[in-house]
Amino acid sequence: MKVHHISPDTNEDRVMTTQDKKALQLESGSVYKHTRPTFPKQNVEWTGSSWPEAKAREAAPNSLANTWFTSPTTTLPPPDHVGAYQNNRPVVPKENAERKAWIVGGGIAGFKGENIVILEDENFVGGAFDAFGDAKEGYRARGGRELTWNHQNLWDMFSTIPSPELPGYSLLDEFRFTNDYAQSYSKARLLHQKGKILDFSTFNLNPEQRKRFTELEMMPIEKAYSLSIGDFFDETFFQTNFWLFWKTQFGFGEEKHQSLLQLKLYMHRFPEGLPGMNNLSCMKSSKYNQNDNWVSPIWKHLSEQGGSIQCQTLVEEIVFKKDKCAEGETLTATSLKLKRNGKSEEISLSEKDVVFATTGSHVAGTA
């Protein structure tokens, strides 16, 4: 049997020689033991002749307060952990057999097919993913979504939807093929003076502007509620490459009165996109428009599973009842008041039903 020895000094992995074996003190009947690594001197605390143990550094106060531990009510890994271990299928609650999901808005969403009812005010499916028309009547495309590799719920759903163009593959597979073999990379990110390429190699942010970004990152959300971007940054910020990159990628307007909170939330959601913002290498794109590529296949699959989308149905009110509990009061939806084709209706909800309602939209109030 060959025994490998890893040297603590050179980190070299080699087959032990007879001389190596004799150099080690062996216990009767035991397997050859690896030598212990050398600990950094500043972290070593010796106790008699025992092996050195790492000396724990003093932790900051409450540094573990928000750490996710295994307990009677939680398990590891935490819900936001990324890895293959999370690719399992969870246990389906027993109530789902009788539970219905009422989804207000026809964007991307999901539940068990025959128990899904989507209520959509428009006469088409897709919500903010709308994209249709022709050269004669004109086209309609009010928005698109910025996507990154860590949209866990979305990619998990995409992995279950068949690709319409690649039999045997999923929407996730198709999306990966598109972006792995046709990566986004712009050689002319910014143009000026009638088509001349503007230097887009840097953000052009000065030290004070970078400091302000750090302050914005750490700012409590409630403090940003009533502030505009112009309230927080001076006039020079709007002359930087960063602002040109940002407003063209995320659809921010020219005006300085754009919401500071929106800027902050986008910063938190897309931090990994900052290094590639100047050349659009951070972008992940669908092969076609997002309605044809995503919404149509999802709607087709949902329909085949018994799902229902009721268009021209406007939900005007969600009726709640109040209940008292140990934590205070809870609100439970009991019915949906809606207007279908101009006529008022009310749908009663069972205690097992769930309602998913979008209270705001990127395209609310648009033509």
Q: What are the catalytic residues?
A: 146, 266
Size (the chain), residues? 367
CB 54 within 8 A of CB 41: no
Nearest in space to 296 (alpha carbons), one of 180, 165, 143: 165
Element (H, E) at 215: helix 207-218
**Would the CA dihedral through 172, 155, 133, 107 be positive or negative?**
positive
Phi and psi at residue 174, to the nearest 5°:
-60, -40
Nearest in space to 171 (alpha carbons), one of 338, 283, 299, 43: 299
> Collapsing DSSP states into helix, strand and coil, what is residue 228?
strand
Please enumerate in sequence order all residues whose Cβ is within 8 A of that of 145, keeping only pairs 6 or more positions apart, or say none: 128, 129, 290
CB 308 within 8 A of CB 117: yes
Q: How many angstroms separate the CA atoms of 97 and 92, rounded?
A: 9
Please enumerate in sequence order all residues whose Cβ is within 8 A of that of 260, keeping only pairs 6 or more positions apart, or say none: 216, 224, 227, 228, 229, 231, 232
Q: How many angstroms separate the CA atoms of 48 and 25, rounded?
A: 20
Structure tokens at 12: 């070299």
